Amino acid sequence: MLPGKGCLLATMAALIAGAVSAFSTPARAESDLAGRWSGNYNCGIETTMTLEVSEKDGLLDGVFSFDAQGQSGSYRMAGRLQPDRRFTFVPREWIKRPDGFTALGITGILNENNRLIEGRLSPCMPGDFKAARAMPEAERSAAMAPPQPLQTGALSGIWAGGIGCRMNRRGNTETYPLELQVIADGDGVGAFGHIRIYKKRNSGAGPAFDQFMLLSGRQDGTSLTLENPLMVDRGGAQAQLKGLAGNIGTDSIEGQVSMSGCETVSLKRKGALQQVAVPATLAGTWMGTAGRQNETSVILHAMPDADPPFFELQATYPANLPDAERDRLRLALVPVVEQDGRLLLMPVSRREATGVFGTGSGPVRHALGQWRGVLVSAGSNESVELRGLARESDVAAAAGSPQALQNTIRLTRPTKQQQEAVASGEAPPIDFGGSIAGALAAAPSREAQCRVLETWLKPFEGGLNIDRMSLDAVLAGLIGAFADEAFEPVFGLPFLLTIQEERGAVARLIRDTCRSAMRMRMVGVVGDFVLSTEHQFTGMTTLMADRTETGGWMARLQEELRDLPQDQSGLDRINGMRADMAKRRRDLTDTQAKEVEAAIARRENDVKLAMLLAEVAALPETGFEQGNLNRVFALLKRAQASGLDNQSLGKLREGAEAKARSLLDGPLREAAGLAATLPMSLEGMRLGNEAMGRFRPYRRGMEEWFGTIDGAGVLHPLYSRLEEIRNDAGVKSAFREKLLEVATGPDAEAIVRNTAAAYVEPEETHRYPEYAALIDEVALVAEVRAISIVDDSGSPQPGEPTAEEIARFALQRVRDYNAQQAAKDDACLSGQVSDPVQAMLCLTSPALYTGQKGFGARLIAVRKIGCVPEVSDIQYRCTFTQEIQINMPGGEAYGGNTLSQMARQMSSGEAVDARFSRAAGGGWNIVWGDLQ
């Protein structure tokens, strides 16, 4: 081993290992969680959240609030922040707890920029969350101000000396001249080096290789480390200086180098910096984007009047994310060479470097963070061009991760609005190039460009629902946005004149920022399905052409509608128009479709009204007895079912009412004239009722359509006379006698009610309660008379129930049963039974099988066997038989006749008993006995 080599390697290894990067490591901001954090978490559904944190004695107090689908809640938490920026919060107590919610714990990490936290909530799946806090006002103000001058310190200047190299094993040495122009910025250092390597070994003079390089490193006032050289000009030599480490004296630097065959370096201060002027045309702020997808935001500040002149390069990535989620780079650069209008900039320090720009070794590194030099020059049209130097081959930009940068980054001067927008945390606007102009190109930031697109589409979004409509329907609804009058002010040229390169640039903006970061879903639809490919563009232009042709069709349709005949052929053509519209539906906006449908519906209504009015005009005004009034009602029902609007229906009703009143006028007056001739007798009551009966079939129709059958009160005299007759006591008595007269035979009840209807209509008995009671009384008498009543009790006691009283009791039970069965049949045949228990009961209803109502029992005979007094003259226990017949309409196929005969035989052969107790008001209270 060569003398001292082990020591040199150990020293170099220690120095290089101690250097985290070729550049100085930016000082990290003190970790601090205090403040209000806003963001979202995912427990199966994305939910908004806030976390308000305060700190005291190293412990954290927090209030976690959330709003999940309209249910809000909050609870207090306690936590700690670790030195590695990781933190934990646990729930303490609820402030407001909605039903069904559980408090969650939090584990996460504070981003290097102190503005973003992310991690997990538990127990919760998947549980990820992300939240940010607003940019501090001091940071916002600093972003608007020019960058701080370099902190050059005592180290900055020109240092000259040499590198000591061994020429052979005998220990002969040679010194290669070295001159470094060193510029510091705090603890960051950059050096522009010139080394002369003699072509003839151990000559110490003569022809030489002149190498020029850029080195970067750090210093702490007493020691200096330079490494990571970028060869600007190798000069033909194979050997090169890879780095040096030395101690800084008052006017000297002594140390070791990393260079083949060489060990030591010795430098003396030679003089002040040789500053390279920055052209005034480059002065100020420049802004733009880098990367194939414009994913990196770049700002360059040129400070020609500073001492020394310098540049500050600022970059954030990815630009489509909110400001708090971006990684950041601030790189101080100093010009060291000017040639042909281009400046070679030397990196001096990283003033800020987080995430992919950081100094750590990770799989994801950004190309701008790997630059070891930069070429800057003025470009065309008030622009500046940057070329990043990462390798000796001087390529514009190294293939970087996660995205390789373009060779050249073009920056332009921002407007005041653009500077303010970027200072507030928004990304620089996309330079679309080509012919894209208008409001989109003028927007001051990428986020503002998205807002321009959102505003552009807003007037056309009415009625569109991305979640409930097909894509074709949504695009058809947005077609108006691509008309020249809507599109050109936003994009600076008509949609039809755009090229795919321009549309693709807008589509990338939409995909990366508008849709993904700003959640503009409708804008995202346009980017994904209209602007992304040439095929989509062709589809939209075709749709627009179809829409234009459809506009002409709409105009022709309106003319045809005006000229339609008002007959059935006109209605047939309207149906054809609806079929045509269905074929063109994709070409119509919702507004146009509604407009066409409304026009067709209006004309259809007019044609139907004209046809129906013609029918009304053709109706006869006489012929009441021929049922012509029913023709009026039938026409109105057809009109109602035809879909006529209320106004037209009212107009039609007016014409129809005139016809109906004409038909009724003669008959009404004829009936009214009868009032003066009606006798005060039962016959007079019958004649009056018969006269009124002519109008009863039409009363309901007249009331439904025209309010009343006798609007003028023509029948009032007849009504009055009938009231007088019906209120007469003698007429009432005669009415009862008439009913008793016919109350005989097996069908006596039906005969009684039919006879009563000749004098009082069944529907009107509620107006005459006395007549209703008479009818029910005699109907009961008729039913009792129809029963065969036999008293086989022998010698009944004077106070015990008679055979007829027992028969009335048995009859009432049969009537109650029949009423219940009728109600059950009505319910079961209505088709509206939803209760499962009721449905099971319906299975026992014969009407469900026969399809006919009327199933019931009929009491044929009652035979009294005898009564035993339990309390003399007050309470008796009576035994009797009853013969019951079952009626089952439509039940012949189900054995209805046999069932009826069996019921008669079985019921008549079985004795039953009942307890009869005298009621306080007369009659009996009756309870069935044990034999029933």
**Checking DSSP bridges between strand 788-791 and strand 409-412, what pairing results, if any?**
unpaired
Tokens of 251: 């006017």
Asked if the model's pLDDT at residue 631 lies above 70, the reply is: yes
Buried b (16+ CB within 10 A) or exposed e, 221-244: eeebbbbbbbbbebbebebbbbbb
Tokens of 111: 């981003």
Indicate the class that CATH gives domain 35-133. mainly beta
Q: Which residue is it, tokens 């902190």?
A: 151
Asked if the model's pLDDT at residue 191 lies above 90, the reply is: yes
Which residues, other chains included, contact 512 with Cβ-Cβ below 8 Å and sequence gap of 6+?
293, 294, 295, 318, 319, 320
Give the pLDDT band of residue 784 (cuts 50, 70, 90): confident
Q: By mean pLDDT, which of 378-387, 500-509, 670-679 is the weakest?
A: 378-387
3-state helix, strand, coil in the chain (%, to 5): 40, 30, 30
Say how far apart CA 718 and CA 565 lie, in whole Å.
49
Tokens of 848: 């469900």
Say how far apart CA 15 and CA 267 lie, in whole Å.
18
3-state SS class at 329: strand
Asked if the model's pLDDT at residue 13 lies above 60, the reply is: no
Asked if the model's pLDDT at residue 637 lies above 90, the reply is: yes
Residue pair 196/166 in contact by the 8 Å Cβ criterion: no
Give the pLDDT band of residue 534 (cuts 50, 70, 90): very high
Give the pLDDT band of residue 403 (cuts 50, 70, 90): very low
Give the burial class of 859: count Cβ atoms within 10 A of its Cβ; 0-12 exposed, 13-18 middle, 19 or more buried. Answer: buried
Tokens of 151: 């902190």
Asked if the model's pLDDT at residue 931 lies above 90, the reply is: no
Structure-model confidence comparison of residues 586 and 406, the more confident one: 586
Fold for 153-271, please state it: Lipocalin (2.40.128)
- % residues pLDDT > 90 (the chain): 46
Q: Which residues partner with 199 through β-bridges?
A: none
Buried b (16+ CB within 10 A) or exposed e, 356-369: bbbbeeeeebbbbb
Q: What integer is the mean pLDDT of 801-829?
A: 87
Which residues, other chains included, contact 708 with Cβ-Cβ below 8 Å and sequence gap of 6+?
702
Give the pLDDT band of residue 897 (cuts 50, 70, 90): low
Q: Which residue is it, tokens 């927090």?
A: 62
DSSP-assigned letters across all residues of 739-767? HHHH--STTHHHHHHHHHHTTS-GGGGGG
Give the pLDDT band of residue 9 (cuts 50, 70, 90): very low
Alpha helices per DSSP H over 156-310: none
Q: How far is CA 31 from CA 84, 139, 537, in A?
A: 9, 16, 50
Which pLDDT value is given to residue 565? 92
Instruction: Output the CA torsion sign for 50, 56, 58, 59.
Output: negative
Give the pLDDT band of residue 796 (cuts 50, 70, 90): confident
Structure-model confidence comparison of residues 431 and 191, the more confident one: 191
Say how far apart CA 672 and CA 664 lie, in whole Å.
12
Residue pair 63/38 in contact by the 8 Å Cβ criterion: no
Tokens of 642: 């035809």
Which pLDDT value is given to residue 8? 30
Structure-model confidence comparison of residues 800 and 794, the more confident one: 800
Structure-model confidence comparison of residues 876 and 923, the more confident one: 876
Give the pLDDT band of residue 598 (cuts 50, 70, 90): very high
Q: CA 854: distance to chain centroid? A: 57
Which pLDDT value is given to residue 654? 93
Say how far apart CA 538 and CA 525 lie, in whole Å.
16
Tokens of 7: 């020591």
Q: What integer is the mean pLDDT of 487-493?
A: 95
Q: What integer is the mean pLDDT of 535-548?
A: 89
At residue 768, φ and ψ (nearest 5 deg) are -130, 80
Which pLDDT value is given to residue 255? 95
Which pLDDT value is given to residue 615? 92
Give the pLDDT band of residue 31 (cuts 50, 70, 90): low
User: How many contiguous H segments (helices) and E segments (strands) does the chain have?
Assistant: 24, 29
Which pLDDT value is given to residue 270? 94
Give the pLDDT band of residue 903 (cuts 50, 70, 90): low
Which residues, other chains included, contact 181 with Cβ-Cβ below 8 Å and sequence gap of 6+?
157, 158, 191, 192, 193, 273, 274, 336
Which residues, other chains included, contact 562 with Cβ-Cβ below 8 Å and sequence gap of 6+?
603
Residue pair 876/800 in contact by the 8 Å Cβ criterion: yes
Which pLDDT value is given to residue 405? 43
Asked if the model's pLDDT at residue 398 lies above 50, the reply is: no
Q: Which residue is it, tokens 């109907």?
A: 779
Residue pair 574/603 in contact by the 8 Å Cβ criterion: yes
Q: Which residue is it, tokens 């100085």?
A: 24
Q: By mean pLDDT, which of 11-15, 475-479, 507-511, 761-765 is the weakest?
A: 11-15
Sketch the domain layout of the chain as residue ranges: 35-133, 153-271, 280-423, 438-532, 551-618, 664-783, 787-928
Asked if the model's pLDDT at residue 268 lies above 70, the reply is: yes
Tokens of 436: 């894209």
| Residue type at position 283 | A
Tokens of 716: 């009032």
Q: What integer is the mean pLDDT of 762-779?
A: 88
Q: CA 629: distance to chain centroid? A: 56
3-state SS class at 240: coil
pLDDT, tens only, 197-220? 988 877 778 888 999 999 999 999
First to last CA, the chain: 130
pLDDT, tens only, 641-654? 999 999 999 999 99
Residue pair 557/577 in contact by the 8 Å Cβ criterion: yes
Q: What is the mean pLDDT of the chain?
A: 86
Which residues, other chains included, contact 906 with Cβ-Cβ below 8 Å and sequence gap of 6+?
none
Q: What integer is the mean pLDDT of 754-778?
A: 89
Q: How far is CA 730 from CA 478, 545, 725, 761, in A?
A: 85, 91, 9, 20
DSSP-assigned letters across all residues of 285-322? EEEEEESTT--EEEEEEEETTSSS-EEEEEEEE-TTS-
Say how far apart CA 525 and CA 527 lie, in whole Å.
5
Say how far apart CA 717 and CA 692 lie, in whole Å.
12
280-423 — its CATH code?
Answer: 2.40.128
Say how far apart CA 41 and CA 120 lie, in whole Å.
8
Which pLDDT value is given to residue 362? 56
Structure-model confidence comparison of residues 531 and 20, the more confident one: 531
Which residues, other chains included, contact 317 with Cβ-Cβ below 8 Å and sequence gap of 6+?
295, 296, 297, 326, 327, 355, 356, 357, 366
Tell whether omega for the bond before 318 is within 30 degrees of 0, i.e. cis.
yes
pLDDT, tens only, 414-430? 988 988 888 888 888 88
Q: What integer is the mean pLDDT of 41-57?
A: 89
pLDDT, tens only, 306-363? 999 999 999 988 887 888 888 889 999 999 999 888 899 999 999 988 888 876 555 5
Residue pair 129/108 in contact by the 8 Å Cβ criterion: yes
Report which DSSP code applies to 136.
Answer: P
Tokens of 643: 């879909």
Which pLDDT value is given to residue 670? 92
Give the pLDDT band of residue 21 (cuts 50, 70, 90): very low
Asked if the model's pLDDT at residue 262 lies above 60, the reply is: yes
At residue 193, φ and ψ (nearest 5 deg) are -110, 150
Say how far apart CA 403 and CA 291 lie, in whole Å.
7
Which pLDDT value is given to residue 151? 94
Say what the alpha-carbon torsion angle 704, 710, 716, 719 is, to the nearest 10 degrees: -40
Say how far apart CA 529 and CA 510 lie, in whole Å.
11
| Of residues 171, 254, 240, the one with CA closest to residue 210 | 240
DSSP-assigned letters across all residues of 418-449? HHHHHHTTPPPPP---TT--HHHHH-SSHHHH
Which pLDDT value is given to residue 819? 85
Tokens of 345: 């900039």
Which pLDDT value is given to residue 916? 93
Structure-model confidence comparison of residues 140 and 49, the more confident one: 49
Q: How far is CA 128 from CA 73, 85, 98, 120, 309, in A?
A: 19, 18, 22, 4, 47
Say how far apart CA 29 and CA 328 lie, in whole Å.
13
Which pLDDT value is given to residue 401? 36
Q: By mean pLDDT, which of 43-47, 414-418, 554-558, 829-833 is the weakest?
A: 829-833
Q: Which residue is it, tokens 């006591």?
A: 729
- % residues pLDDT > 70 (the chain): 90
Tokens of 304: 């020609």
Length of the chain: 932
Which pLDDT value is given to residue 905? 67
Q: What integer is the mean pLDDT of 735-749?
A: 85
Which pLDDT value is given to residue 59? 86
pLDDT, tens only, 68-124? 877 899 999 999 998 889 999 999 999 999 988 899 999 999 988 888 999 999 988
Alpha helices per DSSP H over 4-163: 5-18, 137-144
Which pLDDT value is given to residue 68? 85
Give the pLDDT band of residue 128 (cuts 50, 70, 90): very high
